[in-house]
Each structure stands twice: as C-alpha cells, then as structure tokens.
Structure 1
Amino acid sequence: MSLNAADRPQTSGVADDTQSPEQVSPPIDVYFARQPVLDREGLLCAFETLPRVVDRRESAEIEGEVEAAAKDKAAGLAPRPSATAAALLASFAAPAVRASLAGHPAWLDMTRDALFHDGLQRVSSERVMLELPVNIGADAELIARLVALHRRRYRFALDHVSKADESLAKLLPYVDAIKIDIREIAPALLPKFTSVMKAAGKILVAMGVETQADYQRAHDLGFDRFQGYFFAKPQGGARRSSAPRQALLNLLHLLAAEPTVAQLEAELKLNPVLVMHLMRLANSGSMNIGRKVTTLREAINATGTNAIARWTQLLLYADGRRIAAEDDPLLQLVATRARFMEIAVTRLAKAHLEEEDAAFLVGVFSFVDAVFGGSVESTLDVLTFAKPIRTAIVKREGALGRLLDLSEALERADWTRVDALCGELAPLDAATVASIALCAAEWAGTSGRNAEDEGLERIED
C-alpha cells in the first residue's frame, strides 16, 4: 500500500472523491492506534482501536458549533451532528482500518456525540463493540439511544469502570462488557466487584495486564478478556521452547553467512517441518513462478534467501499450539512492529536502502527475551548481530533505536511520546506513522495471501 501523503487512507473528516470543493469536510484529522485483546486461552480475539482526533479548525468555528449545539439542546431539538463525530466515524469506516484488524472485531472508543451521529450506521454492528466512557452519563436520552442501537444489534462496553455508583447501575442492563483497570481498584475489593459483574452476565475485560502475575490473578478471578502486554514479556524462562526453534537458529546463522544453495538444502533437510513450510512458501500465488515447485532446490531458488530469512525470523515467535497466525498475539505484534520499522526507516530524511533489513531485524529481535528468557543482551550475543542493530535494541541509540521507541509509543497510544519522537525523526509525524502502522498491521495479518505470510504457519513440536 502506498504511503505517499496523497495516497494515505482517508482520515480527515468525511471527504471523498465525489465531493465538490464546497462540500469538502473541515480540517479534522483522525488516526488510530491498535491494542490487542486476548481471550482466556491467550489467543487474540479483538483489537481496541484508540482514535486521536486533531481538530485544526479556527477557534471561532469550533466555538460557534458548540454554541449552536447548546441552543438546540435548550430548545429541545435533536443534537446537531458535530464535525469531529463525523470525522471519527468516517475514518473508522476506512478500508485501511478494517484491513489492519486481521479479521478480528474492533472495540472502538466512542464519544457521546459520535453515539448520536447518523454516521454510526456506516459502521457494521457485527464487527464492532462500542466502548462508552464511564462519564458518558445515564440520562433518559442516552438510554433511549442505547436501546435504539441495540435493536440494530450494536453492542456496548463500559470503559474504565472503577466503582459501583448510580450511573453504573443505570447503564448495566444495556452494556455487554465491563472494562476494569485492575490497577485502579483496591485488591481487596476486586474479587467482590468482579463477582457482582459476572453474576450480571457481563463480559469482564481486565485492563493494565502487564505481567504474568497480573494475568494469572485476573484469570483466577474469572475475567474473560485481557488487555496489556504481558504476553510479550519473559515468563520465567524460555517461552514455548521447542526443538524446531534451535533448527531455526541454525538456519539463521547459515543464512547470515551467504550460503550456497547446496548448503541451504543440506541444512533444511535436517528438519522436515521446515522443508514443508518452505515448499508452501514457494508454491504460494505471489511467487509468480507459473508452475508447481516439486523439489527443495527449486523451492530455495524460487523463494530466495531474503524471503527465507524473514520467514525464519518470524517463525521464532510462533506459538507451539496449532493456532492460526492471525490469532497469535505475539506473532502479530512482532510482525507488525518489524514491518512498521522497515517502512518507517525509508521515510526518514537521511534514509538508506540498506537500513530496511536492519530496521526489520531490530523490530523482530526486540522481543527475543520473551521467547528465550534471559537478558536481551545475552541472546543477541548468540545471534551475533551487527553493532547498530544491537545498540538500537539494547540502548535505543541511533535512528533505529528512536524508531523502536516510536513503535512502542504508538502501540500504547502514547500520543505525547509519539509527537516528541517524531520531532527527532523528520519528516515523520503522528498521522504518517499511524498510517504506516495500519499498513504494517495489514501485512502481518494477511496470512496465506502473500509469499512471506505463507511462512507464518505453526511449527509443531
């Protein structure tokens, strides 16, 4: 997908190619961060899409809109559609956002204004959970709107619930899920609170799950969904260790030495599972060979060492269970970050083409401690990476180190940090990096549709 400014997914207002100049929407930018939601089996089951709305209109225009809305409300008229709500809903409906979800439903942060906007009908009720802020209110007008939308099969989650109050009691019958930040409720109160919500038949979502201990605690309390990056952290030693992983490391070492086809063939033959994946990769439609590959040597020649290396790097993170690539949260996170960095580095003012592979490697191996246990430094020593790659991962130095920080900030929707890092990485800005991230997420999630993704199948122990 092209990332030139003119080719970016439409994220400003609701403009499209059919509008005349006088119809073009106001200068409101909307872009999204994306955070994984896991189920009780540790599988990816949804993404929360966290919007950032940047209103670049003149203050007088914004104030005029607010005053007009206040007059309508005082006169008992229906709420007037706001420009920001229209921009949010139109941007969420853009193909680039849908493509970034890897087939999973989205949990979309809503505003009260957007909830009442007719543009909500552009959002498929089957693929979205609408997240309501805890301070949205519980008046008769809001309740009536929730009932009307529920008839159209929209579902709702109440976000950041931290206490039982009158507003929660009024909204509880109309929401399907309750999101609780486990860090914001006293540990002694959390069991009782979750018990009451479970008894009410609600889906419980634990937020702020950053460690395996957090996850185990929330899991034991009966939470149904989990948000946080515990799955990308070391878990008391090597994670999902399997014999094929050593074979993958051996293959990576060989690939780094620019092997001959005969050497590659000999190494691959030591592991029939790797041969199977390479044959699938070579016979994928995007190889454009024009005939079926039937021998290992043909597969190596057809695929090329670069594609084999990338496929091997990502397979290091594959879950040992037989699950689809798009349901593996760690694999999706790794692949998205690596692809993001590979694209983003080409947009820097002093970009060099040879940095693309290095950027991809930094993204991939920034998670090595989650897989192998031990320190990042010790694992990188074994893999014998070049100094710029090591220092980018360990010390966050250089442009690659800054891009790694940027990727992490975007993953956590830390827009203040994103803006600060973009200031150091000209000409990148928040809108551009958010757009790159959507493209990277689409690449990571399209298992089976392009050559490299054919290699994201599970390796069996």
Structure 2
Amino acid sequence: MGITNDTGVSLQAGGQSPLAQGHPQILHPARQPLVDADGLLHGFELIAREPSRVGETALDDEGERKPHAEADAAAAQTLAMLGASGVRAALGAHRGYLNVNRALLLSDAFARISPDRFFLELPPDIEADTELVARLVSLHAKRHRFVLDHVTQPTATFAKLLPYAYAIKVEVDRTDPELLAKLSGALKSAGKILIALGVESQETFERAKAAHFDLFQGYFFARGHKQATRRASAPRQALLNLLRLLTADPTVTQLEAELKLNPVLVMHLMRLANSGEASIGRKVETLRDAITATGTNRIARWTQLLLYADGRKVRLEDDPLVQMAATRARFMEMSVARLAKADRKVVDGAFLTGVFSLVDAVFGGSLEETLEALTLSSHIRAAILHRTGTLGTLLDAIEAFERADWAALDRTSAALAPLSSSELAELATAAAAWASSADQSEEHAGLDHFED
C-alpha cells in the first residue's frame, strides 16, 4: 500500500525517498505563477534545470544499452527534484504544473507522483504513438491530468493528444489573432481549460481575457502599469507614512501617534501583538503595549508586505504580488547572511531591497520616482535601480531564478562566491516556501489583508 510523503511523491511502504536512493544531484526548480482572471494565484509551474550528464548511457553485462535506463534516469531526476527540501512547501496550497517527457511517462516509478498535487505538461514534440496514448489512458484512469504545452497552432500531435488533455497552454503572443479566436472557441466548446502562456504585459493579459482564457502564466502583475495605481489607495498612503517614520528610528510615543491616525493599522497591529511569538503571555489591550510587544523591526516588515496587499480580502498565499515580494525579500536576507557576518542592519537592508524592488507595480509610476519618495538609503536605491554592489547582484540572481534563466544564475553566482548557483536556487526555494506559508506562520500571524 502506498503512502505520500510531504513532497507529494508517493512512496511504497518500506521504500525510500528519492533523496535516499543516491541521486547524484538535487536541483531546485524555479516556480512560475499561474493566476486566474481576477489575478489570484491558481498554481505554479515547476521548471527544472537539466542536470549535468556524465556517462549517461547505461549498459548491461553484454555491453548493450539497458532498455529502461533512460526512463529510470528521468524518473530518478524528477523524483529527486520533487523530494528536494522545500519544493512542495513552495507550492503552498496550490497545484504544481510539472513538465514530463516520454521516458518519464513510460517509467514504472512515475506512478509514485501524486495526481492530487501535479498537472503533467506534455511537450509539443512528444511522439504520440500507440504506446504513449495507451500510457496516457492508463494514467488518466489513475486521476492524473495532462496539459498540452506551448501550443501555437494545431498539429497532428496536438490532434492525437487533445482527447486526453485537461488543459491547453497557448502562447498567445505567438499565435495569429484570428487563429487564437477560433482555437479558443473550439477548445472551450470541448470543455478544455485554456491557459495563456508568456503573459508579461497588461495588454497581453487583457487580450487573453477577451479570448476567454481561464488562467494566465507570466509576470504581468509585477509590472508597473496604469491599472496598478488602484493599489495606491488611502490605506497604502498611510502605510507609506508609517514606513517613513519607521526608517527614522521612532520612539514608542511617535509610533503611537502615527498609528492612531489609522484605525485599520491599529486593528491589525493588535492582532499581530496578540498572536504567536509577539505575545507577551497576556492579552495586549493598549496600542503602546502592542508596539512594545511586537517591536519596530517586525512592525516594519509587516508594513512593507501589507503595502503589496491587493485591497480585496484574500489570503497572502493567493496574492501573486505579495508572494513575489516576500520571496525576494526572504531570499535577499538569507543570502546576505550566508555571504558574510551580517549584522541586523545589513540583513534588514537586504530584506528591504527585496521588498521594494517591485514597488512600481504598486503605484504605477516610474521605479526611480517611487523609490525617491520612499527615502530609502542610497545604496538600496542603487541596488534596485542600477544593480550595484552585493545587493544588486542578489537581485539579479533572484530574477534569473524567477525566469528559470540558468545561464544568468550561473553568471551571478560567480560574483557571489562562495554561494554556487545550486545553493542560490536552494535559498530561493526556501524563501518561496516561507512566503507560501505566511498565512500559517507564527512570524506572520496577523498579516491579514484589508479592504480599502
């Protein structure tokens, strides 16, 4: 009887996790967000880095190639990736979209991947012969669901696999507009979920929405655009004022006076002070006690993340912009702490750099103007705008990981010794796991979203 470990990989009773099976290299995958038409997180695609292949051809005692060697290797690599520390936690409560190939699909070990955690993406060049189709039918009966990936036009392979597909990923910007409309109509009539791939701008998002797509993969929500100014409402201005005060090392009396001007912030601070680690062992009933119990450092971090809140009362882990900002901030502080003996000021500066690297998406103006208004330290502004210093290089590293640009990650790691690119990827995964669990974490208890 099978059990499922916390990676979402099913293990046979008495069996070992892929980590215990001697896989030579654990490679942490990048995660790229999929959102729905309301801009809320629906899932993440896990994009794996191809491992180095040394002596990959397995031979039997007679010197012949082992018939299942390729499938076994593909399965071992994928299971090791899914078993790597923090990978499942980085998905939070969301499904993962997992790229698979023919060798992996035909592997016996493939059945150990939980159908409840992952959708399986089929590449457009996969060989759709009788053997593969039979395998898809068998896996579908076990509740696995398939996604046709990188579609730009119907092909013979597309037609063969369409009956077994739960969803279709279409490259909207590479598909003829007239064909896009026809594809959308036909696929929606067939009951398929439509996913727009490569949505990097508000314009592409709106075009895909008009074509009745259901989900959207890309980073349009993190780009500064006119629609983003809806986030810069009155509560966010109050948060900005509070942040400016916090940078000046305020007294409790000064903080109390500023917070009293903002009843919504007082409400959230009282919740924060009465939860988790901030609790002082009794119910906090006054604002002054709440400030003392929480501490200015935690208040500052709480305020920085609330700045990105959508304004609708949704969970942190369902807000893609909060997720991205929190992941960057956590990655920055963990990485800088590994690079040198960093004191609290340096670590806080790294966290701040990660948080405000996306601030133009909140207010819609230029990044330079917005950073100037925040009165950030000059080295933090320079790191964000010009990628100078260690903080700027770390920002380049997390952006490369977000894009699954492994060559760029390698280049940045060369300037971040002793951190290797694999260690940077591991830190990014740990940061994503931290961000995904923010709603349940004691450290973030009270970080509720608020209504404008």
Same fold, judged at TM 0.5 (above): yes
Write the mapping of 1:101-116 to structure 2, written as runs, cut at 5 A: 101-116=91-106
For the 8 Å contact 1:28–1:53, the answer to whether it is kept is no
Deviation at 1:402, TM superposition (A): 0.8
Identify if the C-alpha distance between structure 1 residues 96 and 382 changes in structure 2 by more than 3 Å, giving closer, same or farther.
same
Q: Deviations over 1:50-76 (max 9, x none)?
A: 1113135x42xx123599998565xxx
Q: CA deviation at 1:215?
A: 0.3
| Pairing 1:283-362 to 2, within 5 Å after superposition | 283-348=274-339, 354-362=345-353
Q: In the TM superposition, what is the alpha-carbon distance from 1:306 to its structure 2 partner?
A: 0.1
How far has the Cα of 1:146 moved from its partner? 0.8
Shift of the 175–112 alpha-carbon distance from structure 1 to 2, 3 Å rule, reads: same
- Amino acid corresponding to residue 53 of structure 1 in structure 2: E
User: Structure 1 residue 49: deviation in Å?
Assistant: 0.7
Instruction: Specify the alignment match of 2:402 in structure 1.
Output: 411
Q: Which residue is 1:43 aligned to?
A: 40
Whichever residue aligns with residue 165 of structure 2, its letter is: V
User: Once the two structures are superposed, what CA deviation does each residue of 1:196-234 show, in whole Å capped at 9, x if it has no partner?
Assistant: 222221111101111111000000001111011111112
Aligned match of 1:87 in 57, 71, 77? 77
* TM-score normalised to structure 1 length: 0.89
User: CA, structure 1 residues 190+24, in 2 after alignment: closer, same or farther (shift >3 Å)?
Assistant: closer
**Equivalences for residues 70-85 of structure 1 within 5 A:** 81-85=71-75
Paired residue type of 2:58: G
SS of aligned partner of 1:367: coil
The question of 1:157 aligning with 2:147 is answered yes
Q: How far is the alpha carbon of 1:122 from its aligned partner?
A: 2.8
* Aligned position for 2:216: 226
Of residues 415, 418, 440, the one that matches 1:449 is: 440
Alignment TM-score, normalising by the size of structure 2: 0.91
Aligned position for 1:53: 50
2:440 counterpart letter in structure 1: R
- After the TM superposition, list the runs of 4 or more consecutive aligned residues in structure 1 that deviate by more than 4 angstroms: 65-73, 78-81, 349-353
Matched, 1:400 2:386: no
Residues 382 and 376 (structure 1 numbering): CA distance in 2 closer, same or farther, change over 3 Å? same
CA–CA distance in structure 1, aligned partners of residues 286 and 77 of structure 2: 53
Over the residues paired in the alignment, what is the CA RMSD in angstroms?
2.5
Does the alignment pair 1:387 with 2:378?
Answer: yes
Contact 1:422 1:429 in 2 (8 A): yes
TM-superposed CA distance for 1:147, in Å, is: 0.9
Look up the SS of the partner of 2:128 in the other structure: coil
**SS across alignment from 1:176:** strand
Any idea what the Cα deviations from partners look like across 1:23-61, whole Å, max 9, x if unmatched? Answer: 8524233321001000111110101111113135x42xx
- Aligned counterparts of 2:63 and 2:408: Cα–Cα separation in 1: 34
Output the amino acid matched with 1:55: S
2-structure distance, mates of 1:294, 1:68: 79
Which range is displaced more, 124-133 or 82-91? Answer: 82-91
Paired AA for residue 182 in structure 1? V
Q: Percent identity?
A: 54
Q: 1:70 to 1:52 in 2, by over 3 A?
A: farther
Cα–Cα, structure 1 residues 165 and 323, in superposed 2: closer, same or farther, change >3 Å? Answer: same
Say if 1:119 and 1:93 are closer, same or farther in 2 by CA, change over 3 A: farther
Whether the aligned pair in 2 keeps the contact of 1:90 and 1:122 (CA below 8 Å) is no
Give the corresponding residue for 2:57: 63
> Which segments of 5 or more consecutive residues in structure 2 lack a partner in the other structure?
1-5
Structure 1, unaligned runs of 5 or more? 1-8
User: Which of 213-222 and 83-92 deviates more?
Assistant: 83-92
The one-letter amino acid paired with 1:283 is N
Q: Equivalences for 1:187-206 in 2 at 5 Å?
A: 187-206=177-196
Task: After superposing the two structures, state which structure 1 stretch, 231-240 or 251-260, moved more.
Answer: 231-240
Partners in 2 of 1:279 and 1:286 — Cα distance?
A: 13
